[in-house]
């Protein structure tokens, strides 16, 4: 039986650049950076001789986001701006000032899909992508 969410994982092409975006620009806290290789991780991920680098970041409220850079095998690129695609997952963040947060992220490398819009009374939402094509949702409840 599921009791809680442990973490979210997203694949990035450059761990340093992704860590900088999520910590310095989005304001998350860096928990740790580590490398994983060997039989165990190869079996879990289903590749031979797997080697990954991982940075754990967090808002400090419990769950973490794993930023994962594949060293071996090399990742395949399939960046898309289409939301209605299988595997178009996203991470949603609650924010205080959605317009300011959205503009700041776009100015610093985020890719816009739509500006913030009030979807229901008191709930303003927007989608954007990080510089690597991973989807981010911002939500402000007023």
| Domain limit, last residue, from 72, 98, 114 | 72
Among the candidates 41, 72, 103, a domain finishes at: 72
Please write the tens of the pLDDT for every residue from 66-85.
999 999 999 887 767 776 66
| CA gap 27, 58 in Å, rounded | 9
pLDDT tens, residue by residue, 1-12: 665 777 899 999
DSSP letter for 75, please: P
Q: Does 80 reside within a domain?
A: no
2 within a domain of the structure (yes/no): no
Report the mean per-residue pLDDT for the chain. Answer: 90
Residue 127 DSSP class: E
DSSP letters spanning 88-118: --EEEEE-S-HHHHHHHHHHTT-EES---EE
Domain span at residue 56 reads 7-72
pTM of the entire structure?
0.86
């Amino acid at each position: 039986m599921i009791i809680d969410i442990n973490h979210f994982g997203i694949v990035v092409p450059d761990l340093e650049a992704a860590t900088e975006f999520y910590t310095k620009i989005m304001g998350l806290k860096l928990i740790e950076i580590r490398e994983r290789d060997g039989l165990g991780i190869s079996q879990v991920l289903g590749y031979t001789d797997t080697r990954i680098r991982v940075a754990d970041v967090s808002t400090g409220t419990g769950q973490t986001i794993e930023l994962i850079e594949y060293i071996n095998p090399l990742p395949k690129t399939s960046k898309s701006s289409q939301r209605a695609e299988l595997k178009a997952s996203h991470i949603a963040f609650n924010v205080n000032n959605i317009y300011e947060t959205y503009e700041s992220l776009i100015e610093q490398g985020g890719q816009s899909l739509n500006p913030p819009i009030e979807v229901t009374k008191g709930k303003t939402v927007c989608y954007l992508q990080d510089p690597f094509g991973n989807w981010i949702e911002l939500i402000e409840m007023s």
